Amino acid sequence: MTETIAHPPESAGPGNKPVPPAESSRGPVTWLPTLVETLAAIVIALVLGALLVALSDPDTVETLPYLFSYPADFFSAAFDAVWSSYSALVQGSVGSWNRISTTLERSAPLICAGLGVSLAFRAGLFNIGAQGQMAVGFLVAGFIGFTYDLPPGLHTLVALAGGILGGALWGGIAGFLKARTGAHEVITTIMLNYLAVSILLYALGKEAFQREGSDNRQSPPVADSATFGSVADTHLGVLLAFAAAVGVWWLLERSTIGFEMRAVGANPEASRTAGMNVAKVFTLAMVVAGALAGLAGTMQVLGDQASISPTLAGTIGFDAITVALLGRATPLGTVLAGLLFGALSVGGVAMQASAGTPKELAAVLQALIVLFVAAPALVRGLTRQRATGGGSTVMAKGWGG
C-alpha cells in the first residue's frame, strides 16, 4: 500500500508528456544495492568467521585467562590464527593456476545445478530436487561411460546427452505432477530425491554397475574416451557450465519460452488469462531445471574419470539451492555465487590441511553469508546502510504455488 515510497508517482512529474525513456532502470542502478548488500553480507560473515577461528584456536584460548594482563598475547595469537586460516583459504582457492582450476572444476556442477534451481524459481517453482536429478544424471552418464566402447568425442557426447536427459526426465516428473495434479513441487521433488538415492543404491548393488570381482558399491571408472577433454588442466565441463549460464540467460531474457516462464512465475493468473498454458510452462521449466542438474551430475563422472558411488553428489544438489538464492535467481548471480561456494569449498580443504581449521568453518562461512543475504535488513542495520526499499528476495513465490 505504500508503493509510492519506492516509486514516486509519475503523473505528478513534470509535464503531461511521457518522460523520455530512461534506460537506467535496467542498468546497474537496480541491482547495485543488492550487490552492495551481498558484499556486505560476505564481509560480515568473514568477520564472524574470524571470531570463530580465533576462539577455536587452542593457542588463542590459552591466552584468554590473562587477556587483561597481557592483551597483546591474545591479539597476536588470534591474529595469527585468523591470518593463517584466511590466507590458506585464499591461497588454497585462487593462489595459483592449479588452485584456480580446481576451484573452477568444483564450481562447475554447483553453477549448473544452481542454474536449474534459479530457472525453476523464476517460473515460480521451488525445486528442491537438484540432488535427485543429479543422481539420475550421473547414473545414466556413468553407465554409458563405463559400459560402452565408443570413439572418443562421440562417447562423451552420448554420455553427456544421456546424463542431461536423465536429469530432465527426473525434473520433468515433478513438473508433470504439478501441472496435472497440482501436487506441490516441494513435496514431489523431495520424494524424488529419496527415490533417486534408492535407485542409485539398487543399481550399485547389481553386477552391471559394479567393478569386476568386487562387491563394493562402486562402479568401474568411466572410460577414457568418455571423459571431458581438458585445457590447461581444467576439464571442459567448466566451459559447459558457463555456456549453460549464457543459455539460461538467453532462454529467460530473450526467448518466448523464458517470457512465459517469468510471466507464470510472477503471476500465473494473468499468464493464463493472456493465453499461456501454465501447466505446460511448469512442466517445461522443471524439465530444463532437471536437465541442468543432470548436467551437473554428468560433470561429476565425466569430469575426471570418476566412478559412480552412493555419495558422489555430496551435498551439491542442496548447496545449489543456496547458490541460487545467493545469486538472486539470475544467471550471472548464480555463476558468481557458484564460484564463491566453489572457492570456499576448495579453500576450506586448504584451511584444514595447512591451518588445521575444522572443515565446518567453510560450511559456517557459507551459512553465514546466506543468512545475511536472506536478512538484508540485518545487514543494513549492521553496516548502517540506508534502507533502499524494493526488497529483492526471491523466496516468497516458491511456496505459493
Residues 124-153 that bind another protein (CB under 8 A): none
Closer to another protein by Cβ: residue 77 or 130: 77
Of residues 161 through 180, those in contact with another protein by CB under 8 A are none
Site string for another protein, 7-26 (x = CB under 8 A): xxxxxxx--x-xxxxxx-xx
Residues with Cβ within 8 Å of 224's Cβ and at least 6 positions away in sequence, in order, are 152, 305
Closest by CA to 310, choosing from 228, 385, 394, 199, is 199
Residues with Cβ within 8 Å of 313's Cβ and at least 6 positions away in sequence, in order, are 131, 134, 135, 138, 297, 300
Give the interface segment with another protein, choosing from 102-110, 144-152, 153-161, 367-375 (CB under 8 A): 102-110
Q: Among 6, 29, 243, 367, indicate the residue that binds another protein (CB under 8 A).
A: 6
Closer to another protein by Cβ: residue 13 or 154: 13
Does 280 bind another protein (CB under 8 A)? Our answer is: no
Q: Among 29, 35, 243, 270, indicate the residue that binds another protein (CB under 8 A).
A: 270
What's the closest the beta carbon of residue 389 comes to another protein, in angstroms? Answer: 10
C-alpha cell at 370: 546466506
Does 261 bind another protein (CB under 8 A)? Our answer is: no
Residue with cell 588442466: 233
* For helices 185-204 and 130-147, angle between their N-to-C axes, nearest 10 degrees: 30
C-alpha cell at 272: 493464463
Closer to another protein by Cβ: residue 44 or 115: 44
Distance CA 308, CA 300 (A): 9
Residues with Cβ within 8 Å of 17's Cβ and at least 6 positions away in sequence, in order, are none
What's the closest the beta carbon of residue 151 comes to another protein, in angstroms? Answer: 24
Of residues 215 through 244, those in contact with another protein by CB under 8 A are 215-218, 221
Contact by Cβ (8 Å): 165, 140: yes
What's the closest the beta carbon of residue 11 comes to another protein, in angstroms? Answer: 4
Q: Among 273, 386, 396, 400, indicate the residue that binds another protein (CB under 8 A).
A: 273
Does 399 bind another protein (CB under 8 A)? Our answer is: no
Of residues 332 through 391, those in contact with another protein by CB under 8 A are 345-346, 349-350, 352-357, 359, 381-382, 384
Q: Among 45, 128, 177, 316, indicate the residue that binds another protein (CB under 8 A).
A: 316
Of residues 49 through 88, those in contact with another protein by CB under 8 A are 57-60, 63-70, 73, 76-77, 80-81, 84-85
Contact by Cβ (8 Å): 326, 370: yes
Distance CA 231, CA 225 (A): 16
Does 212 bind another protein (CB under 8 A)? Our answer is: no
Distance CA 75, CA 95 (A): 26
C-alpha cell at 106: 568444483
